[in-house]
Copies of this chain bind each other. A is one copy, B any other.
Amino acid sequence: MKKNVLIVGAGGVAQVAAHKCAQNNDILGDICIASRKQFKCERIIESIYRKNNIKDKTKKIYSRQLNALDIDATVKLIEETNSQIVINLAQSYVNMSLLEACIKTKVAYMDTAIHEEPDKVCEDPPWYANYEWKRKDRCKENQITAILGVGFDPGVVNAYCAYAVKHLFDKIDTIDIMDVNAGDHGKYFATNFDPEINFREFKKVWTWVNRRWVEEQVHKIRREYDFPVVGKRTIYLNGHDELHSLSKNIDANSIRFWMGFSDHYINVFTVLKNLGLTSEKPIKT
């Protein structure tokens, strides 16, 4: 078992992952949380101690400042911390530099979302082929494992699909992934995850239909679906990371991703989009 974890990023997902790692630090060893803003890492560590979520108190849990676009700095940090597992929970702009640092140091790499280039939004399918999959041979040569998209969607969704193929069905016609967040924190507006990355998804829709990539407009194709527990919700055909890997690895005719949005969400998004506030380009007056 590989020892010592370097968590890069200090947002909501990093917070959860850090608590989980600390609860299992008898197996995982020392944990370092690194981010551009070190105080956010310290805040997470403080909450782990406060909630007594650290199993083996003899193991270290500590923070470092890191710009994960800087490969040399990341290599140095991996070596200094003696980490054998890197969990990338930072913004998706750093995937390729962080993976590169892992290849150089021969340590395991994990992330939860596809790589994003700042000036390229909604890249052509299969998106992974532009970035992560180009490093496949070098990962093999260096005998390291890189697990991509280990979150919920992508992540758990891919595991469910693989399980269904292996154990439940003889043949797969269509996979519909329906992502609905029915939570409510009482605030005026929220995206399902990092707003910047979330909004970048809504430039165009790439979907896999009858074994071909089809481009559709954002928020154009909608359905009502009666979900268990949360009830009827409106879902919209959307592009998403896992379509790119599922379409490669699963022999299905169609694989589609649907995301739930309330009328209020669509309204706020439409206003921001029409005023030019969702663009990746800098606003000039």
Contact = CB atoms under 8 A, between A and B. Distances in A.
Nearest to A268: B271
A275 B102 CA distance: 39
Contact of A275 (B189, B267, B274): B189
Given A189-B275, A268-B271, 10 more contacts: A188-B274, A188-B275, A189-B274, A267-B267, A267-B271, A268-B275, A271-B271, A271-B272, A272-B275, A277-B277
Contacts of A271: 267-268, 271-272
12 contacts: A188-B274, A188-B275, A189-B274, A189-B275, A267-B267, A267-B271, A268-B271, A268-B275, A271-B271, A271-B272, A272-B275, A277-B277
Q: How many copies make up the complex?
A: 2
Most buried by B among A189, A275, A277: A275
A190 to B, nearest CB: 11
A189 B272 CA distance: 11
Nearest to A264: B271
Interface in A166-208: 188-189
Contacts of A272: 271, 275
Contacts of A188: 274-275
Nearest to A269: B271
Contacts of A267: 267, 271
A209 B275 CA distance: 37
Most buried by B among A189, A271, A275: A271
Nearest to A275: B189
A263 to B, nearest CB: 12
Interface string A246-285: 0000000000000000000001100110110100000000
A5 to B, nearest CB: 28
Nearest to A273: B188
A272 B268 CA distance: 9
Contacts of A268: 271, 275
Interface string A31-51: 000000000000000000000
Contacts of A189: 274-275
Nearest to A188: B274
Nearest to A274: B188
Interface in A102-153: none
A78 B17 CA distance: 66
Contacts of A274: 188-189
A277 B272 CA distance: 11
A200 to B, nearest CB: 17
A277 B271 CA distance: 12
A192 to B, nearest CB: 17
A268 B274 CA distance: 10
